[in-house]
Structure 1
Amino acid sequence: MNKLLKALLVATILISSVAQAVVVRGSGTTALIGGDLTDPENNGNPEADVGYNASFRSSVEQGFGGGEYAFNVFDNQVGGGNDKWCCDGATVWVEANFGAKRYNLTKFTAASGNDAPERDADIWQIQGSNDGINYTSIFSYNNNGVSAWGGNRLQVLEYSKAGGDFSSNAAYSIFRYQATSVVGEGGMHQLNELEFFGTQVPEPGTLALSALGLIALVAGRRKKRA
């Protein structure tokens, strides 16, 4: 096999692996995974904003019921109307804060709205933070003029670390969706749903106390042997 054929083969394999990394779960509420970090018991009440394991914040339209508000991306519903977040400028964000708990993100889902694809973000990120001030990019989608969902409405996409969509090993107490551009020229943004999944890691203070306890235990055993 000559060098050109080998290069073409490698390129084909790489393209195929990238194309298969994102999982298309289907459309509608039944396509969600469920039991994510914000509502592991699936008992959240969006109309009353109770039953969630996180607090929420956004750049615009903070709230659930009463309109197509930002927190609707955490209501465990994929649909039109009050099930989605719509429609503000292209630069917007919404986040889930888990307080003292920190998680290493392993996967997340993002669902498209029911409106025109022109309102989908074409440049967006999933970011992590531990202070609500400084944010680190975990995942980035940057495809000017192209929606991640194409023309598919109410579609749930799953991105995972295991699938190679992102590689962050840091743990965060806050996960944010940040959009900075939409497909269409009108500048109106929409998003239907977000689910975050991850592995909880001990807080830094807990790790320090555990280390001190281990040191004290070893020192005590050595003293007895002496």
Structure 2
Amino acid sequence: GFGIPELPHYLGSVGKYWLEEGNAFVLANIRGGGEFGPRWHQAAQGISKHKSVDDLLAVVRDLSERGISSPKHIGLQGGSNGGLITAAAFVREPQSIGALVCEVPLTDMIRYPLLSAGSSWTDEYGNPQKYEVCKRWLGELSPYHNLSDGIDYPPALITTSLSDDRVHPAHALKFYAKLRETSAQSWLYAPDGGGHTGNGTQRESADEMACVLLFLKEFLAS
């Protein structure tokens, strides 16, 4: 989202503790980012934001259709705007994935302008508090509002920081609480400090990374 490119790069922790153990990592370039210029970003702004989710799920399906992986071994991981996109994909097609790691996410797209820095993002998502058409489309995208009883959701790890002043922790807390009512295989990681961009100390960062990797190994690598 926001026209920010996700280009190929090496993640040391993923390489050491995930790839070296025989697992795979896929970076999905989806509309809304900045990999292919302004039009690539604009194609998934406002009422078209759902196209980012469409693209992510297209990548997920392609991995299965080509035999590269299978749903029970595919996990989605994303943070902030990426948390929104992965959570929306998780809610829309839970049968297509085996696990979700959703970090400091937006999940309530109806009330997001009222929470922390949310009002500064209306150019990206549209303003559901002002325009009824935005409220309708964002309601269909909103992960929190589209969780349903009786659905067999895969395991999920939701993370936030209680001191996050950019994406309000209520997004993660509400999503986790509602998901937990339906799925016992859901967990919340919510330290007091660190803010939106990461943990306060290297030890705290290592603790959270260890939690994420153990979760993914438990539910995807077996």
TM category (shorter chain) comes to under 0.3
- The structure whose Rg is larger is 1
Q: TM-score, normalised by structure 1?
A: 0.26
Bigger relative CO (Cα 8 Å, ≥ 6 apart): 1
Provide the TM-score with structure 2 as the length reference: 0.26
